Amino acid sequence: MASNNTKVWLITGSSSGFGRSLTEAVLEKGDRVIATARKPEQLDDLAQQYPDTAKAIRLDVTDRQEVESAIHTAINTFGRIDVLVNNAGYGLLGSIEEASEAEARTQFETNLFGALWMIQAVLPVMREQSSGHILNISSVGGFTGYAGFGIYNGTKFALEGISEALALEVAPFNIRITIVEPGSFRTDWAGRSMVRSERVIDAYAKSSGQTRDWMDQEGGNQAGDPALAAAAMMKVVNVENPPQRLVLGADALERIRGKLRSVAQELDAWEQTTVNTAFSTQMTH
């Protein structure tokens, strides 16, 4: 039975992968969840197993009306929202030149705007409560670019920019923001959630083409365990000072450290050029 000091979570994309693992872990702990999916019948088993603490509803994050109604359902059901997890997303695989306008826009609609609409809808609730925590599931690809994932990288970099600014804006309301950056995890992401651009240009065979080959073999072989990722996410929600970024997986850590080192080296190498851009004379009055 749920006690009053358990947390209330709202998780997008609860049907598989991280969303499913996190929903299960949160329910197992005794917290309450509004579990959401485009096909909510995929969550029937959880709603039956946890009738008092789980509510399953339909939510396509690209539909703003469904976003608003998910927030209302959460408040009507459990009276508050302590943790929002913006997890719903998919990958678009193809070079920048290969991606069609529709493929690029749809990718942004889900991965970026879906999360943005959720954030905007939940903030009045969290401000009223003077508390809340938003986990935005980005990616190692939200910090470093990959050939063949440029549009996906764009959605996740944008989500990270929004998250950093948001953290500054909502800190006075006791609302915390954590960006989650997983590396390769064994979910459906590299399988049914990977959209390949329809157009393939042979000239990119050695860059994005190689990423296509890598992704063909990736499904089922990823090192990361989504259940352990879920445990890590629950940990940051329950500490007093949660990190702004939670990197998940040794592969992601190595790649992010590598980028930080190369950015620092480049800053040093170009420092004189960087600083020699101010007016040489002081303005006098």
Ligand X SMILES: NC(=O)c1ccc[n+]([C@@H]2O[C@H](COP(=O)([O-])OP(=O)(O)OC[C@H]3O[C@@H](n4cnc5c(N)ncnc54)[C@H](OP(=O)(O)O)[C@@H]3O)[C@@H](O)[C@H]2O)c1
List residues with catalytic annotation.
Answer: 138, 152, 156
Using Cβ positions, the residue closest to ligand X within the complex turns out to be 17
Q: How far is the CB of 172 from ligand X (least distance, A)?
A: 28
Residues 246-285 that bind ligand X (CB under 6 A): none
Return the residue of 6, 58, 60, 231 that touches ligand X, per CB under 6 A. 60
Instruction: Spell out a b/e string for 147-174, using b for 16 or more CB atoms within 10 Å of the CB, else e.
Output: ebbbbbbbbbbbbbebbeebbeebeeee
Stretch that binds ligand X, among 75-83, 122-130, 161-169, 185-193 (CB under 6 A): 185-193
Tokens 């083409």 belong to residue: 209
Q: How far is the CB of 252 from ligand X (least distance, A)?
A: 8
Maximum CA extent, the chain: 76
Q: How far is the CB of 95 from ligand X (least distance, A)?
A: 19
Looking at the Cβ atoms of 129 and 251, the one nearer to ligand X is: 251
Which residues, 6+ apart, have CB-to-CB distance to 95 below 8 Å?
147, 148, 150, 197, 201, 204, 207, 208
148 sits near ligand X (criterion: CB under 6 A): no
Q: How far is the CB of 47 from ligand X (least distance, A)?
A: 16
16 sits near ligand X (criterion: CB under 6 A): yes
**Among the listed residues 218, 217, 158, the one whose alpha carbon sits nearest the alpha carbon of residue 183:** 218
Return the residue of 184, 197, 208, 211 that touches ligand X, per CB under 6 A. 184
153 sits near ligand X (criterion: CB under 6 A): no
Residues 73-102 that bind ligand X (CB under 6 A): 87-90
Residues binding ligand X (CB under 6 A):
12-13, 15-19, 37-39, 59-62, 87-90, 110, 114, 137, 139, 182, 184-185, 187-189, 193, 222
